[in-house]
Amino acid sequence: MSVERAGPRNFRSALRRTVGAALLAAVALGPLAAQAGGPPTAKVNTTGLAVTDDTVKVGILHSVTGTMAISETGSVQAEKLAIKQINDMGGVLGRKVEFIQEDGASDWPTFAEKAKKLLVNDKVAAVFGCWTSASRKAVLPVFEQYNGMLYYPTFYEGLEMSPDVIYTGQEATQQIIAGIDWVVKNKGAKTFYLLGSDYIWPRTSNKIARKHIEKLGLKVVGEEYYPLGHTQFNSVINKIKLKRPDVIYAIVVGGSNVAFYKQLKAAGIDMTKEKPLLLTISVTEDEIRGIGGENIVGAYAVMKYFQSLDNPNNKKFVKAFKDMWGQDMVIGDVTQAAYLGPWLWKAAVEKAGSFDIDAVRKASPGIELKTAPEGYVRIHPNHHLWSKTRVGQAQANGQYKLVYETKELVEPNPFPKGYQ
C-alpha cells in the first residue's frame, strides 16, 4: 500500500517543485522581461493604477442598452478598434492594453456609478466614454474626485473645461461659426430659421449661431424648439414655408430627426434645390441610415469628419473599421472622434513616460496626431482639439460629399467671448 501511494506523492511533490522553480524563474526574470518590453512598472505607475509588467487596463463606458445605444454603439466599436490596433503595434510602453467595458444604460446616475467602479475598483488608467452632455455632466464630479482621465468623443455645446476630460469632438463654436461663414459667403444666405430639439446642446448652439448671424448683420426669422421625441413637424414646416428663410438651420436629434426629414420631403421641400438650403450640425452618416439617404439628399452638414474624406489615413481607418465590424457599417463624426481617444492617450502616456494621471494630464497639451482619419489634430491647453471644420452635402447613398473645409485648423474656444 505505502509503495503504491509513494508514487503519486512523489509525483505531486515533484510537480510542486517544478511549479515552484518555474515561479521563481518568472519572478527572477520578471523585471528583465518587462525591461525588454518597456520601463519597469514601479516607474510608470506610482499611483496604484491597474498597470502590470505586461498589461494596462482602461475603461470603455458607453450605453449599449437603452435609447442612447443607437448613437453610442459606433463609439464603442471605434474605441475597440483603436485599442486592438495599438496592441498590434506593441501596446503602450510595452504593455498590452486591456479594456473593461461598462454599460451606462442610457441612464445618467448609472454612468456615474460605473465611472466610480472603473476608477475606484478597477483603477483603470483612462476611460473612453460618454456621449450625451448629460452623461458627461454626471460623471464629471466622479472623475474630478477620484482623479481619472476621460476621453469624450461627442461634438458638444462647449462651456466646459475640466482637467480630467480630453474633448476629442468639436465644441460648438468650431462647428457653428465656420459653417455659417461658409453658407453666407458661398450661398449668399441672408435669412435663417433656427430649429432644434429642446435641450441644452441645440439651445446653446443656436444661441451662438444667432449671435454670429446678427454680428454679420443678417437676420434670424424664426427660432424654435421641439420636445425630444417629437414626431410631427407639419406645422413648423408650414411656418418655414411662410417665412421663406434662405437657410433652415436644424439641430434636431434622435427619433425626431427621422420624422423631420421625412416630413420635410413629403411637404415638397426639395433640398437639392437649396431653396431653402438646409444646414445641420446634428446629422452624421449614422443618422442618415435611419433617415434614409433619399429623404435628406441635398442637405448640408457641418462636421469635422465625413466617412468619404479622401486621404490615406481615412482610407486605412475605414477599411479596418469595416473589416472588424462588417462591410455595411457607416462611420460618423463622433465615431471617428472616439477612435482618436485611445491614440491621444497613448501619445500622452509615451510623452510622459508614465501612466500616472497627473503626468498624462501634464503631457497632453501639444500632443499631435498625424495619423488621425480626419487629418492632423493637436490638443489645445484647454483640452479640446485643434481641428478643421468641413461642410458636406448629403448624397442619396447616405454619404456626404465634401464641399468645403477650412484652410487652417480651427482653434477650440469653449468659452467664447461675446457669444454667451
Partner 1 sequence: MFDSYSASELGAIFAMQGFAGLSLFSVFVLMALGLAIIFGQMGVINMAHGEFMILGAYVTYLCSHLVENYAPGLFGVYFFGAMILAFLASGALGMLVEWALIRHLYKRPLDTLLATWGLSLILQQLYRSVFGAREVGVTLPDWLMGSFNLTDMIEVPINGVFVMGLTILITLGVYLMMFRSSWGKQVRAVVQNRTMAGAVGINTEMTDRLTFGIGCGIAGVAGAAFTMIGSTGPTAGQLYIVDTFLVVVFGGAASLLGTIASAFTISQAQSTLEFFLSGSMAKVFTLLTVVGILMLRPQGLFSLKVRK
The interface region with partner 1, picked from 78-86, 182-190, 249-257, 314-322 by CB under 8 A, is 249-257
Q: Based on the shown chain and the rule CB under 8 A, indicate whether residue 234 belongs to the binding site for partner 1.
A: yes
Using CA atoms, how far apart are residues 125 and 220, in angstroms rounded to an integer? Answer: 47
Q: Give Cβ neighbours of residue 207 (< 8 Å, ≥ 6 apart).
A: 419, 420
**Min separation Cβ 275 and partner 1, Å:** 14
The interface region with partner 1, picked from 17-25, 174-182, 232-240, 352-360 by CB under 8 A, is 232-240
By CB under 8 A, name the one of 54, 98, 200, 225 that touches partner 1.
225
Sign of the alpha-carbon torsion through 340, 342, 343, 344: positive
Q: Based on the shown chain and the rule CB under 8 A, indicate whether residue 290 belongs to the binding site for partner 1.
A: yes
Using CA atoms, how far apart are residues 419 and 204, in angstroms rounded to an integer? Answer: 9
| Neighbouring-strand partners of residue 220 | 192
Q: Based on the shown chain and the rule CB under 8 A, indicate whether residue 298 belongs to the binding site for partner 1.
A: no
Q: Based on the shown chain and the rule CB under 8 A, indicate whether residue 286 belongs to the binding site for partner 1.
A: yes
> Could you report how far apart the first and last alpha carbons of the chain are, in Å?
90
The interface region with partner 1, picked from 10-18, 257-265, 362-370, 378-386 by CB under 8 A, is 257-265
Question: What is the per-residue burial (b if ≥16 Cβ within 10 Å, else e) of 7-23?
Answer: eeeeeeeeeeeeeeeee
By CB under 8 A, name the one of 295, 307, 354, 364 that touches partner 1.
295
CA atoms within 13 A on the CB side of 133: 17
Q: Based on the shown chain and the rule CB under 8 A, indicate whether residue 397 belongs to the binding site for partner 1.
A: no
By CB under 8 A, name the one of 230, 322, 361, 378 that touches partner 1.
230
Single-letter amino acid code for the residue at 315:
K
Nearer to partner 1, 214 or 224 (CB): 224
Phi, psi of 302 (to 5 degrees): -105, 115
Nearer to partner 1, 39 or 222 (CB): 222
- Residue 120, SS3 per DSSP: helix
By CB under 8 A, name the one of 117, 187, 190, 239 that touches partner 1.
239
Q: Report 68-127 residues binding partner 1 (CB under 8 A).
A: 69-70, 73
Q: Report which secondary-structure segment, H or E, holds 405.
A: strand 400-405
By CB under 8 A, name the one of 37, 39, 64, 378 that touches partner 1.
64
**Min separation Cβ 211 and partner 1, Å:** 19
Total chain residues near partner 1 (CB under 8 A): 46
Nearer to partner 1, 65 or 311 (CB): 65
**Min separation Cβ 78 and partner 1, Å:** 14
Using CA atoms, how far apart are residues 300 and 387, in angstroms rounded to an integer? Answer: 19
Q: Based on the shown chain and the rule CB under 8 A, indicate whether residue 66 belongs to the binding site for partner 1.
A: yes
Nearer to partner 1, 198 or 214 (CB): 198
Using CA atoms, how far apart are residues 153 and 338, in angstroms rounded to an integer? Answer: 5
**Rg of the chain in Å (alpha carbons):** 25
Q: Based on the shown chain and the rule CB under 8 A, indicate whether residue 268 belongs to the binding site for partner 1.
A: yes
Under a CB-based contact definition with an 8 Å cutoff, are residues 170 and 144 in contact?
no
Q: Based on the shown chain and the rule CB under 8 A, indicate whether residue 272 belongs to the binding site for partner 1.
A: no
- Residue 46, SS3 per DSSP: coil
Using CA atoms, how far apart are residues 193 and 233, in angstroms rounded to an integer? Answer: 14
What DSSP string runs through 298-325? T-EEEES--TT--SHHHHHHHHHHHHHH
**Min separation Cβ 73 and partner 1, Å:** 5
Helices and strands of the chain, counted as H and E runs: 14, 15
By CB under 8 A, name the one of 20, 109, 229, 366 that touches partner 1.
229
**Min separation Cβ 326 and partner 1, Å:** 10
Q: Based on the shown chain and the rule CB under 8 A, indicate whether residue 282 belongs to the binding site for partner 1.
A: no
Query: Which residues bind to partner 1, rule: CB under 8 A?
Result: 64-67, 69-70, 73, 198, 223-227, 229-232, 234-239, 241-242, 254-255, 257-259, 262-263, 265-268, 286-295
